[in-house]
Amino acid sequence: MRIVFMGTPDFAVASLKALIDGGFEVVAVVTAADKPAGRGQKLQQSAVKRFAVEHDLPVLQPEKLRDPAFLESLADLKADLQVVVAFRMLPEVVWNMPPKGTINLHASLLPQYRGAAPINHAIINGEQETGVTTFFLQHEIDTGATIRVAKVAIDADETAGSLHDKLMQTGAQVLVDTVRAIADGTATGQQQPETGELKHAPKIFKDFCKINWDQPVATVYNHIRGLSPYPAAFTELNGKTLKIFGAAIDQASQAAAPGTFLTDGKTFLKFAARNGHISVTDLQYEGKKRMPVEDFLRGVRL
């Protein structure tokens, strides 16, 4: 089959690499346009584009997916199948183009956690299991017929970063199995059930990242690890923003008003939640680099 791959971040690179290593014919890659970043505002390529260039794959970077010039270029590729991993929402004129359809890899066990941030929300909600799902694209986002599913355990101290890496590797293998099934005609889609309580995974904005200390300590802990390392949960300390990347639950300290902190000025920094404390281990204070709590306390007097 002739395959067009669509994706942007590192999560998608593993899937693209797995397809190439599996011997599939990837005829082109569609990815985000180069964007200025950093202090120098130099144009930065997406992770998928960098990989594609290294492997001599043609790259398309449309600003608008309905652009007639892009649609013409896409049609000229005569793809049998389009594969989407961590890309933006496609219009029907794009996803309905190839004869074998367009499939997507989603980092959850659909229909649970449809949306832009399934990895984060699964941890934030205290789940012990998640996974990956491949499905055929249709009109409503993340609702198409599922093809393959694989479950992945969420460890008690899992962060969004570590779970991302696990799902990235598992997803790449599931995607290859899915494409093989489509190629040999054995892939059958199963309609997603719409009954029961469905949990969603909407895009995360800054206000959501602010820690509410007037919650059970386990809830606060899940919130922190579900946003680590990006975009990172934060609180305020001495009038400045304090991002928290690593933490642990501490039930031993004496109860205190939610949001107040304890420190010896050398080795520990703890914030009180409703029924315990969060002991911070890895942080970034406004205007400083990310560092262990001990390094932070050596340079800041609280």
- Tell me the per-residue pLDDT of 75-101, one tens digit each, with 9 for 90 and over: 999 999 999 999 999 999 999 999 999
The domain total for the chain is 2
Same domain, 223 and 142: no
Answer whether residue 191 is part of any domain. no
Confidence of residue 36 (pLDDT cuts 50, 70, 90): confident
Closest CA to 226 of 110, 109, 130: 130
217, 258 Cβ separation under 8 angstroms: no
Q: How many CB atoms lie within 10 A of CB 145?
A: 16
User: Is 301's pLDDT higher than 90?
Assistant: no
Q: Percent of the chain, pLDDT > 70?
A: 100
User: Is 41's pLDDT higher than 90?
Assistant: no
**Mean pLDDT of all residues in 172-188:** 97
User: Is 223's pLDDT higher than 90?
Assistant: yes
* pLDDT computed for residue 246 by the predictor: 98
Same domain, 73 and 17: yes
Q: Select from 183, 218, 245 the last residue of a domain.
A: 183
Same domain, 237 and 122: no
CA-to-CA distance for 107 and 142, rounded, in angstroms? 11
* pLDDT computed for residue 38 by the predictor: 74
* pLDDT computed for residue 28 by the predictor: 98
Domain that holds residue 294: 206-299
Confidence of residue 192 (pLDDT cuts 50, 70, 90): very high
Adjacent-strand bridge partners of 140 = none
Same domain, 28 and 150: yes
Q: How many CB atoms lie within 10 A of CB 153?
A: 12
Same domain, 155 and 29: yes
CATH number of residue 220's parent domain: 3.10.25.10
* pLDDT computed for residue 267 by the predictor: 95
Q: Are strands 276-285 and 269-273 parallel, antiparallel or unpaired?
A: antiparallel
User: Is 237's pLDDT higher than 90?
Assistant: yes
Average pLDDT, the chain: 96
Same domain, 20 and 164: yes
CATH number of residue 91's parent domain: 3.40.50.12230
**Mean pLDDT of all residues in 220-232:** 98
Q: Are strands 261-263 and 146-153 parallel, antiparallel or unpaired?
A: unpaired
**Mean pLDDT of all residues in 246-251:** 96
